[in-house]
């Protein structure tokens, strides 16, 4: 081998050695995180409560029907008094934009706190591991001892209880999800009498299995290898983002505590490994911010606890930005961070759009289609007749009385249907004729406005501008 | 990714380029097995669906699926959705249909296809032929044979053949010119004494009426309105007067024929009208005596009823 060949070989070795150094948790070790009390643990519980509406929401009633209902078969979305039809779907798009940018904004300010506190994977896995801990032991050693002992009645009982509780939660999750799309009480009835529709069973099965497998067995593996948001959020973090950081300057060189005496040349880290033991994804935060970190702050709780016990200042691991830790910089004001300001602007725009959309939601949709073939017809007295199809969609919950009128074309008269009743949620096509005597013709194309008045209320009008066509003069 | 062994421990393929060795990392066993298993899906299709072509036929497959069967099932499903409307429609009188907006919408939507298949070729998609004067416009309010739904139904069922005798040779050149002017003046509501005398003299009034407004029983055109069956130019009006419509003895005559769509229905309509005129009951008609069973029927009665309503709604039904 030549000298350059040897050099190449050396470089290749380096690459392989680097990859070998990566701390990769691929599920070969089951993570049993220790549960400790603390500030961020309490915060996590509070954050988890935001999922309660997911379970309880479908049971809120409003005017005799489900308050919030995504009625897919009827293509309607009910939100209390509001009914949104596919025509207004742009508002959903804006809402999604708002939340997508909210995720980006929050991540650039405070890192993956969505992952750590709010994500369903984190929340459900936390509940599932709580149950597992109660049944099989709270610490890794207890758990492994429990699992390696031979099968006894006690072990069987504990395993059964664990899986039953898991399945129960999974079932409730599936049912609650499905209940947003169909009447919740009717759904319970249908499930219990085994009469539910096939889509309802499929939704229940998919969500139950999904919850059971993802929260029960895959846990942190989902965050590490499955979830795209984890990776997307990773790139939104910059040096001003507040993340759990291990303060190396304060902690190193780490050493075990001997007889509670702290040596002068030693850092505050006593290498107790508690920060690793409590981590739900099983990483060591002392190696720096890494892809496994969901920024939940449980290691901070653990470390602060230890620091207090060993009479050392807390905050060895703390929420801080890269600049604060490594360059002793002060936190940057939000308005001095262009990226965050751009995010906030987009969010405000989207929010304005949704709010104006919701407040300006019209009770009906009104369209006028001019007949294309023939464009006009000459009647026996020479009058020119145009035909129009009016389409009216009643977006309210009550029957709607609509009166049609025209304006803007002098001498024109409206024929056939002038008043009609439309059932809620229905579209009614109406054929009408507009006639204009030959003597009143002024040009080949004249604009004409159709006015649909709803329920006889003054000013409750929808207008649509169309054309009146005539032969060449 | 499951095991991260030191690369030195991994088998290599023996290939080495400039010191870079190609390692032999096989994909995980479960992954490979899943790949092979997915290939076995072919067998599932083989068993469930028609697969092997035989001499005259093919293997049927357990599901018994065929494309034509699927089409027929889908078609049956549509028919099933239409059935309640069709059944209701069959029981309804025309006035009832006109007062039922939902039924009217159904008729309008379903007749569009019928009209397109059978009528639009001549009368145009919206009831106006592409070229003016070729076929009657159905979207206006001028009706040669009457514009009520019953009249339209009869026109469709029985077909129509307009009759106007040729006058070539019977009229002098000046008389033709005067009559042409009379027709033009009538349309513009202007008096024309000379023309009027000729109109009466040659018996035009027999078909077109004393008031020249036409007669729906003769199918003659209204000469006083602004709508021209053939053309409003002087030359073309002359041609109509000289050569008539459907006059078998004149090779230059205008042809205007509406085909018969149901002889059976035409006979039935006629008998019904007679019975009603005579003050008897329609229910008492013994259709077996009236019909011999050989009457032609290109469209069903319900289709003609639908089409009559559709045409009536096009723009100018009476």
Identify the segments of chain A with pLDDT beneath 50: 1, 21
Closest CA to A466 of A429, A422, A418, A433: A433
Q: Looking at the domain that runs over B79-160+266-312, which CATH code has it been given?
A: 1.10.760.10
How many other CB atoms are there within 10 angstroms of residue A236's CB atom?
Answer: 18
Same fold, B79-160+266-312 and B163-255: yes
| Tokens standing for residue A446 | 């004249």
Q: How many residue pairs bridge chain A and chain B with CB atoms within 8 Å of each other?
A: 78
pLDDT value at B310 more than 90: yes
Spatial contact of A459 and A372, defined as CB atoms under 8 Å apart: no
Residues of B at the A interface (Cβ-Cβ below 8 Å)? Answer: 1-4, 6-7, 18-20, 101, 105, 108, 124-128, 137, 139-142, 222, 225-227, 313, 315-316
User: How far apart (Å, rounded) are the C-alpha atoms in residues A317 and A245?
Assistant: 5
Task: Give me the CATH topology for the region B163-255.
Answer: Cytochrome Bc1 Complex; Chain D, domain 2 (1.10.760)
B213, closest residue in chain A (CA to CA):
A380
| DSSP secondary structure code for residue A422 in this structure | E
pLDDT score at A179: 95
| DSSP secondary structure code for residue B164 in this structure | B
The per-residue pLDDT for range B227-276, each reduced to its tens digit, is: 999 998 999 999 999 999 999 999 999 999 999 999 999 999 999 888 98
Spatial contact of A312 and A318, defined as CB atoms under 8 Å apart: no
Cβ-based neighbours of A12, under 8 Å, separated by 6 or more? B19, B20
3-state SS assignment for residue A76: strand
> Hey, are the CB atoms on B140 and A377 less than 8 Å from each other?
yes
**b (16+ CB within 10 A) / e for A48-67:** beebeeeeeebeeeeeeebe
Q: How far away is chain B from the Cα of A117, in angstroms, using its nearest Cα?
A: 29
Q: In the predicted model, what is the mean pLDDT of chain B? A: 90
* First-last CA distance in chain A: 95
Domain boundaries, chain B: 79-160+266-312, 163-255
Residues of A at the B interface (Cβ-Cβ below 8 Å)? Answer: 1, 4-6, 8-9, 12, 16, 19-20, 22, 24, 26, 28, 371-374, 377-382, 385, 387, 420, 428-429, 431, 433, 438
The residue behind tokens 């066993």 is B29
* Best of A6, A14, A28, A379 to mutate (most B CBs within 10 Å, chain B): A379
- Please name each of the domains of chain A with its CATH number: 21-234 (no CATH), 242-329 (no CATH), 364-469 (2.60.40.10)
Nearest to B126 among A9, A374, A420 (CB): A374
User: How far apart (Å, rounded) are the C-alpha atoms in residues A404 and A412?
Assistant: 14
Alpha helices by DSSP H, listed for chain B, are 29-39, 41-48, 67-91, 94-98, 101-118, 120-123, 149-158, 173-187, 193-201, 204-208, 234-243, 263-277, 287-290, 301-312
Q: How far away is chain A from the Cα of B272, in angstroms, using its nearest Cα?
A: 30
Residues, chain B: 318
Q: How far away is chain A from the Cα of B105, in angstroms, using its nearest Cα?
A: 8
Question: Any bridge partners for residue A415, and if so which?
Answer: A433
Spatial contact of A236 and A108, defined as CB atoms under 8 Å apart: yes
Asked if the peptide bond before residue A374 counts as cis, ω within 30 degrees of 0, the response is yes
> Hey, are the CB atoms on A431 and B19 less than 8 Å from each other?
no
Phi, psi of A307 (to 5 degrees): -60, -40
| Tokens standing for residue A103 | 């995720």
The residue behind tokens 């991540």 is A107
pLDDT value at B1 more than 50: no
| Neighboring chain A residues of B20 at a CB cutoff of 8 Å | 8-9, 12
User: How far apart (Å, rounded) are the C-alpha atoms in residues A365 and A378?
Assistant: 31
Q: How far away is chain B from the Cα of A385, in angstroms, using its nearest Cα?
A: 8
User: How far apart (Å, rounded) are the C-alpha atoms in residues A128 and A121?
Assistant: 10
For residues B103-116, average pLDDT: 91
pLDDT score at A470: 92
Pairing of strands A445-454, A419-422: unpaired
């Amino acid at each position: 081998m030549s000298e350059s060949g040897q050099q190449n070989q050396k470089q290749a070795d380096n690459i392989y050695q680097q990859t070998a150094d990566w701390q990769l948790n691929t599920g070969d070790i089951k993570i049993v995180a220790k549960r400790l009390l603390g500030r961020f643990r309490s915060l996590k519980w509070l954050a988890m409560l935001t999922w309660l509406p997911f379970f309880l929401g479908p049971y809120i009633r409003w005017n005799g029907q489900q308050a919030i209902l995504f009625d897919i078969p009827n293509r309607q979305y009910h939100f209390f008094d509001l009914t949104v039809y596919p025509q207004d779907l742009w508002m959903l798009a804006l809402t999604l934009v708002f939340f997508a940018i909210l995720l980006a904004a929050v991540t650039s300010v405070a890192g993956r706190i969505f992952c750590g506190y709010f994500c369903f994977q984190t929340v459900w896995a936390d509940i599932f591991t709580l149950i597992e801990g109660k049944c099989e032991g709270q610490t890794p050693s207890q758990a492994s001892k429990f699992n390696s002992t031979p099968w006894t009645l006690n072990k069987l009982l504990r395993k059964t209880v664990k899986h039953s509780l898991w399945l129960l939660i999974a079932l409730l999750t599936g049912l609650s999800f499905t209940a947003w799309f169909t009447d919740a009480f009717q759904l319970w009835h249908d499930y219990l009498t085994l009469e539910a529709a096939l889509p309802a069973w499929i939704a229940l099965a998919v969500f139950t299995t999904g919850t059971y497998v993802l929260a029960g067995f895959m846990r942190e593996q989902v965050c590490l290898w499955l979830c795209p948001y984890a990776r997307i959020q990773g790139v939104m973090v910059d040096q001003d983002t507040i993340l759990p950081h291990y303060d190396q300057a304060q902690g190193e060189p780490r050493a075990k505590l001997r007889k509670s005496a702290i040596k002068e040349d030693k850092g505050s880290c006593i290498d107790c490994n508690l920060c690793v033991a409590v981590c739900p994804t099983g990483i060591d935060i002392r190696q720096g911010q890494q892809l496994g970190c969901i920024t939940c702050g449980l290691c901070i709780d653990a470390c602060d606890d230890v620091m207090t016990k060993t009479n050392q200042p807390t905050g060895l691991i703390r929420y801080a930005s890269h600049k604060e830790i490594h360059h002793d910089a002060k936190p940057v004001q939000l308005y001095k961070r262009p990226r965050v300001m751009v995010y906030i602007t987009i969010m405000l725009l989207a929010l304005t759009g949704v709010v104006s959309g919701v407040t300006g939601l019209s009770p009906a949709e009104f369209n006028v289609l001019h007949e294309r073939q023939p464009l006009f017809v000459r009647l026996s007295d020479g009058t020119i007749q145009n035909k129009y199809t009016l389409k009216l969609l009643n977006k309210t919950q009550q029957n709607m009385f609509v009166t049609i009128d025209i304006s803007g074309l002098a001498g024109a008269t409206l024929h056939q249907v002038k008043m009609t009743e439309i059932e809620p949620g229905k579209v009614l096509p109406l054929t009408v004729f507009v006639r204009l005597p030959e003597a009143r013709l002024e040009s080949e194309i004249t604009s004409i406005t159709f006015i649909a008045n709803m329920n006889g209320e003054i000013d409750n009008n929808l207008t649509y501008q169309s054309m009146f066509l005539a032969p060449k003069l | 990714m499951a095991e991260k062994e030191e690369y030195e421990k991994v088998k290599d393929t023996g290939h080495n380029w400039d010191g870079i060795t190609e390692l032999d990392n096989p994909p995980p066993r479960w992954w490979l097995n899943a790949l092979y298993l997915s290939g076995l899906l072919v067998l599932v299709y083989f068993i469930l669906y028609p697969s092997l072509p035989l001499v005259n036929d093919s293997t049927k497959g357990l599901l018994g699926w065929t494309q034509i069967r699927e089409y027929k099932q889908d078609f049956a499903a549509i028919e099933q959705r239409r059935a309640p409307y069709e059944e209701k429609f069959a029981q309804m009188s025309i006035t009832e249909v006109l007062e039922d907006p939902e039924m009217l919408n159904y008729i309008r939507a379903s007749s569009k296809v019928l009209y397109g298949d059978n009528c639009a070729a001549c009368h145009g998609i919206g009831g106006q032929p592409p070229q003016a004067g070729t076929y009657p416009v159905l979207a206006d309010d001028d009706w040669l044979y009457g514009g009520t739904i019953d009249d339209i139904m009869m026109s469709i069922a029985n077909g129509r053949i307009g009759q106007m005798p040729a006058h070539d040779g019977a009229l002098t050149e000046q008389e033709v010119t005067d009559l042409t002017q009379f027709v033009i003046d009538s349309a513009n509501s202007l008096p024309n004494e000379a023309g009027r005398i000729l109109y009466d003299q040659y018996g035009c009034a027999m078909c077109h009426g004393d008031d020249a407004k036409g007669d729906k029983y003769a199918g003659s055109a209204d000469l006083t309105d602004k709508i021209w069956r053939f053309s409003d130019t002087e030359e073309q009006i002359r041609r109509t007067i000289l050569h008539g419509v459907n006059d078998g003895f004149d090779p230059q005559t205008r042809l205007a024929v509406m085909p018969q769509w149901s002889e059976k229905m035409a006979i039935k309509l006629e008998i019904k009208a007679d019975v009603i005129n005579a003050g008897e009951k329609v229910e008492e008609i013994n259709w077996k005596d009236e019909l011999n069973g050989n009457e032609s029927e290109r469209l069903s009665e319900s289709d003609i009823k639908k089409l009559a309503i559709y045409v009536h709604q096009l723009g100018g039904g009476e």
